[in-house]
Amino acid sequence: MKKRLSQIWQQFQQSFSVEESLNNTFETGKAVLEAAKTLKEQSPSLEILQPVLQHSSSLLDVLCSPLVQVVGAGLPFASIGIALLKFYRQLTQQDPSLEDCIFIVSQTAYLESAKEILSLYPSVDWDGEPNNHEAVRKQLQKLKYLELDYQTATNTIACFHESELAKAFNQVLIARLTTVNSTKYQAHLLTQRIAWNTHRYLIKAWIESDEAIKNLIQPSFGDWQKEQQTFQSINEYLQTHIAPKPQDKLLDQNFSLKELYIPLKSQPVDKNGEIDKNADALDLDTWAKKNLLKPENLEQVMVIQGQPGRGKSAFCQMFADWVRQHLHPLWTPILIRLRDIEFFEFRLEDTLKAELKVSFIQSSDNWLTNKNTRFLFILDGFDELQIEATKNLNLEAFIKQVAKFQQDCQTYQEMGHRILITGRSMALQNISELPRNLERVEISEMDGQLQEKWLQKWAALPNNQGKSTDLQQFLRNKRCPVAVQKLAQEPLLLYLLAAMYRDEKLGIDKLKEANTRTAKVLIYQEAVNWVLTKQPSEPDGTNLNNQLTKQLPEDLKRILTEAAVCVMQSGGEFAPMPMLEARLQEIEKAKYNLSDETLKTALAAFYIRRTNQQEGGFEFYHKSFSEFLFAERLKQNMQAWSELTSEDEIKQMNWQIYDLLGFGGLTSEIVEYVIGLLVEVKDLLWVRLFKHLDNFYSEWCQGKFIDDAQETLAQTKLQQLQNYGIHQLGQRQVDIYAGLNVMILLLELQRYAQEHDVLKEHILFYPSGQPEEECLINQLLEVIQYSYCLQGKTFNSMVGQFLSAANLRGANLSHADLSRANLSHADLSRANLSRANLICADLSSAYLINADIRGATLVDADLSQTNLIRADLSHADLSRANLSDADLSGAYLSGVNFMGANLSGANFSGANFSDSFGNDIRWNENTNWENVEGLDIAKNVPAALKQQLGLN
């Protein structure tokens, strides 16, 4: 049976022997305030409660009082509700109904919640100018007519924020808040947060009023206590894991992230992974907030991608804390560094539960389906995933797990969580089929305005007072190279430049000579030297490095580079200390006489810290540091390899290749650093270095290093890794990584050589072997097939991005997967690409003269300005491909799918559009034929196409 709220209130008035005596809403609210003030000091009594019932229409009348009194006085509103129920039970000698309990207690719980949330904003004047509260009175009048029955009361207990009471209470509070200096949207957001928070106070009230309601409300007292413990555990997690993040010392310095953080800008990324440079820049914080607070975006995974050092992790830490401060419990942030996850399950839910060792998750089977909790999972660093090979899980599979989880959150109403995930842009480029429900943005470089804001914060730091902080003056100086000015738009590099400039350790003369290839390398080199010689120091400037470590700078640098090798070979994020100790002993046993504590002290001085993931483990503060120092180590070896002459030295080089490169794929950042470092080596013997590596590659392709009857280099390296606790690889994987990484270096050496006349004729790399006149060469195809032994990776994901300008003339690549590969400017003349997967591949300006491309899949591929003279494209799928300005003279096009393709400016002179079986091309209204040439002298052009284009 339904009861109006006004009827329940009258029922209580009768039981307490009072008559309603209302003057105006402001006065009635005063009665509730006075009762709360009295109960703060005295035990409940009839004399205290009767005026509340006599002079009020509901407990929410108090919202017409000055909110400073409601919020700031710490009044015990919950005590009024509990006292009303207990005295009602004594006076009537019967239990109140469930509807009675819910109506009374939900009001006091809502008021307690409002008091807590509004008190978080002490600087806001909630009362503003005096007003007549007419809007509030209207909503309070509507409240009287709201009806409750047993079912709606039960629903309110289960989930207050979805209840009819919550909606009605929210309208009263929205009316109250919009009478001050807050917009209706802000008031709506606050009331949502208050409604979500009310459930916690309901639970507290049920526990405290046990006797009055024990026969009415399920679940049991013990269940309420368990749920209360869940909320307490969430609060502890937020205070322990989220709130301190902005205060963490940045890069182990004496200032915090919060002191230097500025909101970044971003640009949208389309479904093909292209940055929309024509779109207006988005404030990253604003974009994330809007996305989170739009219910219609629930299916979308928020993806923030960016180049190294752009501030992805800093954003995650700051945004998580903002959500904690301004949205919890409407949204509760959970921040996870993906590098910290040790074990991955086949469902994201299971991975999260295994990773998050907190009681509100571990003690509950329904932590994801509890309607009273809603989480924002912030997953930082998808490019840093430590995925176990035995799980047969790679980045693509993980991203699909994330996308599926987000779809489930939309499908199942009791979930409703959101995911925000970040990582390097490059990591996503090799995923052939990304889920469609990714809402992606790319963090932009810092523009002049943001750079100036950051430098103002930098100059304001207490420890920077009286020092050189006007880096902007140097950057604007004509002597500062454009390349350096460009790199100063990256937050991490801007910090390094600013710190070195402050300490007068920035090698301006060196930087004057920098170009786009060497500028970043020079900055990191200067930063390493600065760290080795300056950090840390006493207040008087005395260098403490030698005192701390008893090592010379050059020895410390070797320790750092070896530490980087350990981190990279352990997966790129952290490594065990025994591994570093063992490597140092293997290098020069007599030289590094370091105790365990001395080594830890040395590492702690140089942006390296202990990790929580491994006992005795360590990690670099930023991935870029480990990548650069690993590149430094690799460069040292490559420089030495360029000087080798004897067979014994070559054998030693072969082992060093397996030792350094037999662990995983080189990233584009490492490769960029390596070439930049080599360029700085005076009189480097480039040709000899190339020949040594080219010979290694040829012998590797022939299986020389894996087919040996003796213990192989791959086996030796595998045993070494396993001794360090790295068990993800087998001998074949070590062998494949060594060979593919050498291929990457050879491709980059050739690319550099082609820019220099003295080298270009001597450094020519053929990944598939020297081309032969009459027959195809299979070497690269066999390498690709061998690479299928890699679990979680492919040849394409490792090498695909480095194939630009590759010499692949006459290569047999039939059926090969080269989707998303960068083959721009590559020479694929006479190559066999029949039935190859070239989806989204970049073949712009490539040479495919006389190439066999029959049946290949080139959907969304870029073939702009590509030379396809006499190429056989029969039955190839070129839907949505870009062939603008491509040369298809004499090409065979029977059965080609041109639907949605861009053919503007393409040359079809002499091309054959059909065969003797009548297999015509296919096109549609989205095919762009603008300014095509040569159709008038092409063969077998379909009559319908001629008619469409107005050809005679």
User: What residue ranges define each of the domains in the chain, with the CATH number in brackets?
Assistant: 3-218 (no CATH), 242-443 (3.40.50.300), 448-534 (no CATH), 535-621 (1.10.10), 623-765 (no CATH), 770-952 (2.160.20.80)
Give residue 389's pLDDT band: very low, low, confident or very high (50, 70, 90): very low
Q: Does residue 885 carry a pLDDT above 60?
A: yes
What mean pLDDT value characterizes the chain? 86
Quote the pLDDT of residue 390. 44
Contacts of range 138-142, beta carbons closer than 8 Å, 24 or more positions apart: 138/175, 139/168, 139/171, 139/172, 139/175, 140/25, 140/57, 140/58, 140/60, 140/61, 140/64, 140/172, 142/168, 142/171
Q: Per residue in 686-744, pLDDT tens?
A: 999 999 999 999 999 999 999 888 889 999 999 988 888 787 888 999 999 999 999 99
Identify which of 482-496, 569-583, 792-806, 876-890 has the greatest average pLDDT. 876-890
Percent of the chain exceeding pLDDT 90 equals 48
Q: Does residue 111 carry a pLDDT above 90?
A: yes
Residues in the chain: 952
Q: Worst-scoring range by mean pLDDT, 29-38, 211-220, 450-459, 905-914? A: 211-220
- CA distances from residue 512 to 19, 67, 499, 529 in whole angstroms, order as listed: 88, 62, 18, 18
Q: Report d(CA 441, CA 312) in Å as an integer.
A: 11
Q: Does residue 545 carry a pLDDT above 80?
A: no
Q: Does residue 448 carry a pLDDT above 80?
A: yes
Q: Report d(CA 896, CA 164) in Å as an integer.
A: 60
Amino acid at 343: F
Quote the pLDDT of residue 538. 45
Strand partners, 617: 576
Q: Does residue 485 carry a pLDDT above 80?
A: yes
Q: Does residue 856 carry a pLDDT above 90?
A: yes
HSE-CB for 591 with a 13 A CA cutoff: 12
Q: Report d(CA 432, CA 397) in Å as an integer.
A: 11
- The SS3 of residue 337 is strand
- 100 contacts 15 by C-beta, under 8 angstroms: no
Quote the pLDDT of residue 602. 52
Percent of the chain exceeding pLDDT 70 equals 90
Tokens representing residue 45 in the block? 């009594």
- Burial class from Cβ neighbours inside 10 Å (0-12, 13-18, 19+) for residue 545 reads buried
Q: Report d(CA 663, CA 673) in Å as an integer.
A: 18
- 119 contacts 126 by C-beta, under 8 angstroms: no
CB atoms under 10 Å from CB of 326, counted, come to: 16
CA nearest 131: which of 189, 69, 67? 67
- 580 contacts 723 by C-beta, under 8 angstroms: no
Q: Worst-scoring range by mean pLDDT, 140-149, 187-196, 371-380? A: 140-149
Q: Does residue 603 carry a pLDDT above 60?
A: no
- CA distances from residue 256 to 253, 324, 606, 867 in whole angstroms, order as listed: 8, 19, 17, 55
Q: Is 829 left (phi over 0), alpha (psi -120 to 50) or beta?
A: beta
Amino acid at 372: N
Select the more confidently predicted residue: 437 or 569: 437
Sheet strands (E) in 371-494: 375-380, 418-424, 438-443
Tokens representing residue 247 in the block? 């205060």
DSSP state of 93: S
- CA distances from residue 260 to 281, 315, 914 in whole angstroms, order as listed: 22, 12, 65
Q: Please, which residues have CB within 8 angstroms of residue 950's CB and are 6 or more apart in sequence?
A: none
Q: Report d(CA 224, CA 218) in Å as an integer.
A: 9
Rounded to two decimals, the pTM is 0.83
Q: Does residue 478 carry a pLDDT above 60?
A: yes
Tokens representing residue 775 in the block? 């027959």
Q: Report d(CA 409, CA 376) in Å as an integer.
A: 11
